[in-house]
Amino acid sequence: QVQLAESGGGAVQVGGSLRLSCRVSGFTGGDYRDYYMAWFRQAPGKVREGVACIAADGTTNYADSVQGRFTISQDKAANTLHLQMHNLQPEDTAMFYCAAQRRSPYQSYWHCSRAGSVFQYWGQGTQVTVSS
């Protein structure tokens, strides 16, 4: 059973940086080839947004709102997914979630998605608050 646990959230001022981590359990070594992962965020009263995703081969994709400021990465040896965030703005304030989904046999190793509906496994979230 895949389980995800986020950490690293907190309160920062405008222009600051944070690095979120998502500890993954339930993957075996070879299973990283079978999963793609993503970070999502949801602010109160707003729709959940897929921030960034990473494919099994390391291919990444970002929402326009974070392109150039956020970087998604995997440390497979440590079973951890990261989201490095720079130049944070008040509109980045949200609960951040990591998610994982097994790749279907018809999807390539470079496939990932930022659509929340396709993900089966979710963490509990970590809060990011950016103040001016």
CA distance 26 to 63: 28
pLDDT in tens, the chain (132 residues): 899 999 999 999 999 999 999 999 987 656 777 899 999 999 999 999 999 999 999 999 999 999 999 999 999 888 899 999 999 999 999 999 999 999 888 999 999 999 999 999 999 999 999 999
Structure-token match 């081969």, residue found: 57
Task: Report the pLDDT value the prediction gives residue 29, as an integer from 0 to 100.
Answer: 57
Q: What is the Cα 130 distance to its own chain's centre? A: 18
CA distance 2 to 64: 29
Task: Report the pLDDT value the prediction gives residue 31, as an integer from 0 to 100.
Answer: 73
CA distance 50 to 114: 4
From its phi and psi, is residue 92 left (phi > 0), alpha (psi between -120 and 50) or beta?
Answer: alpha
